[in-house]
Amino acid sequence: MDFGFLQNLATGFGAALSFNNLGFALMGCLLGTLIGVLPGIGPIPTIAMLLPITFGLDPLSSLIMLAGIYYGAQYGGSTTSILVNIPGEASSIVTCIDGHQMAKQGRAGVALGVAALGSFFAGCVGTVFIAAFGPPLASIAQEFNAPENFSLMLLGLVTAVVLAHGSVIKAIGMVLVGLLFGLVGTDVNSGLTRYTFGVSELWDGIDFLPLVIGMFGIVEIVRNLERGTLPRAQIYTGLRELWPSVQDFKDSWRAVLRGTGLGSILGILPGGGAVLAAFASYTVEKKLAADPSRFGKGAIEGVAGPESANNAAAQTSFIPLLTLGLPSNAIMALMMGAMIIHGIQPGSAVMTKRPDLFWGMVASMWIGNLMLLVINFPLIGIWVRLLSVPYRLLYPAILLFCVIGIYATNTNIAQLVMTAVFALFGYILVKFECEPAPLVLGFILGPLMEENLRRALVISRGDPKIFLESWISIVLLALTVLVIVLIVLPQIRKSREQAFQE
Amino acid sequence: MVRVRSPQDLGAGAVFVTIGAAGLYFGQDLAFGSSARMGPGYFPTILSYLIIAIGLVLAVKSLATDGPPIERFSFRPLFAILAAILAFGFLIERIGLALTAAVLTVGSAYARRDVNLKETLLLAAGLALFVVGVFVYGLTQPLPAWWGR
């Protein structure tokens, strides 16, 4: 094994530990937790809303801040799950089960403490994972040409669809619509504009911010409003003791280890990420437990395992993005969108051309995790008080911040009109049970897929056999076919549904 | 008589077919080219056909399998929020951030039925002060604080 990555990590810490960057990491974690803790707002809308404030920074600082926002949002979501039993998003559904029971038994503090400690441990392991596996993967990716890139994106999209919850057919449809939306604007090859309807604002393509804030942030607000009164936080006693007891440590350390392992591996898979990791970890803990009946009644392993798993996966899901340029889930698509706005095309080239950026970000992930631990123990009381602010006072503020964020990035009113259009579109789709996340993945990958397909076919003069001429491409396509076969097999579909119901 | 057994699938199918058809219609002037020399219309056309195919599969599925009904559309929150967003865009350059923020707050409050006007006005004033302080003076965003700057 090559220990050169330690040297690289040192460079990264050098870049990330500057006073400014530490400040941005802290601010990101704080803001992420602040928004993420609000009931009914998951990590995706949180990141979408906070994206604009990172645009004015230099690329490294902005990525550091974004990563901080991401971890903060995720941790904030766990807090809401435990205290109010409202999961911000799918990855914290499992935390609700036992976490909220613990809160009811007066052990909310311990649940939050275990979640924070487990997440921190998982975050550390995840960071080392990225540092160790990033460079070898990136050197494989350097061998990639147009055909391999196309096959890789195909595999990524297909896997993402399978692992998204809800109907597979609808998810495929949403990916395709996203790809089509991604093509709006000037075609780089011919210089012609496509689907711009004479609107000059569309010449550069559909803007990322109005799309994600409209479809996630605004739709979320409308959905919360139509659901009527959100349950107010019931603050149970026992918040004062955050530090788990010796017995709690004994009960949970194995779960943390297993969750971290599972999460680190599952996070790398396209479409995997935090959700799958949390579900898998909960299932494993329940299977391995001496007395499975404790689960659902406040078993500490049921919090420690999934919370570690989703944080480990949150880390390692950066691997495909940073090394292959492939966002493995909607959150990574947001990160990729942000990087593109800064003029960085994620992929293996980042590591070779901007090592400070790559390693600085890896280092900042660890710093972000440490900050979460540091800020959450003293600040938990504030988050709890925030939870008890009624939604009727919160949503106008959230809406206002979204709108200012969109408008201030380029002071163009067309952006707001587009936000409204995408909000309407997203709302209609939600009514038909179509998840917007696959659309964002397609949207980000649309232009890249077209360009790689075009280049591959130019090389082969239109012969599609070029995709079967390199072993990398063959393996990727074989995996794609395998995944499709797995969806079609009804047995597997059934167990997949079960897994999501559990 | 054909019976729709899964309305959500039918709705989603209709959305997809519409998008695919729009993709074909508005992309008809884009040259398709050939596989060796993909024109600007090549990829969009293929995508549009695939989207239509997915839409049709969903439509057939909606007749064949049972599914949950479509949840009721709540027009009040939807339109109040959308109107607030558009109003912000219309007003910001005309009357500045402070008043626009207040208008947006009050307008979006009417997304709910039982509005407490006094509370809402207080919130509007508070938010207006806050965002002017943070965004205009703190973060020096390119936003006018008042009308005529």
CA atoms within 13 A on the CB side of A330: 31
* ipTM entry: 0.93
The pLDDT tens digits of the residues spanning B90-104 come to 888 888 888 888 899
The Cα A205–Cα A305 span in angstroms is 42
Q: At CA B90, angle to CA B86 and CA B96, rounded to 5? A: 120
Range of the domain at A473: 4-501
pLDDT of chain A, 502 residues: tens digit per residue: 456 667 777 777 777 778 888 888 888 888 888 888 776 677 787 888 788 888 778 888 888 888 888 888 888 888 877 877 766 666 677 787 788 888 878 787 888 888 888 888 998 898 888 888 888 888 877 778 888 888 888 888 887 777 666 788 898 999 999 999 999 988 888 888 898 888 888 888 888 888 988 888 888 888 888 877 655 555 554 556 667 777 887 788 888 899 899 888 888 876 666 777 888 888 888 888 878 788 878 888 888 888 898 888 888 888 888 888 888 778 888 888 888 888 888 888 887 788 888 888 888 888 888 888 888 777 877 777 777 778 788 888 888 888 888 888 778 888 999 999 999 999 999 999 888 888 988 898 888 889 889 989 888 888 888 888 888 889 889 988 888 887 777 655 555 555 555 4
**B19, B54, B119 member nearest A169 (Cβ):** B54
CB contact under 8 A, A225 and B86: no
CB contact under 8 A, A225 and B23: no
The pTM score is 0.83
**B38 - beta bridge partners?**
B33
CB contact under 8 A, B108 and A176: no
In chain B, residues 4-43 whose CB comes closer than 8 Å to chain A: 8-9, 11-12, 15-16, 19, 23, 26-27, 30-31, 34-40, 42-43
Q: At CA B105, angle to CA A71 and CA A72, rounded to 5? A: 5
Q: How many domains does chain A have?
A: 1
Nearest CA in chain A to B41: A194
Structure tokens at A342: 């800064």
* Nearest of A268, A266, A277 to residue A306 by alpha carbon: A277
CB contact under 8 A, A399 and B84: yes
**A193 - beta bridge partners?**
A186
The Cα A147–Cα A161 span in angstroms is 21
3-state SS, one letter per residue, for A213-247 = HHHHHHHHHHHHHHCCCCCCCCCCCCCCCCCCCHH
In chain B, residues 61-90 whose CB comes closer than 8 Å to chain A: 61, 68, 70-71, 73-74, 77-78, 81-82, 84-86, 88-90
Contacts of B44 in chain A (CB under 8 A): 180, 183, 194-195
CB contact under 8 A, B36 and A53: no
Instruction: Answer whether B58 touches A (CB < 8 Å).
Output: yes
Q: Locate the domains of chain B by residue range.
A: 7-64, 75-138
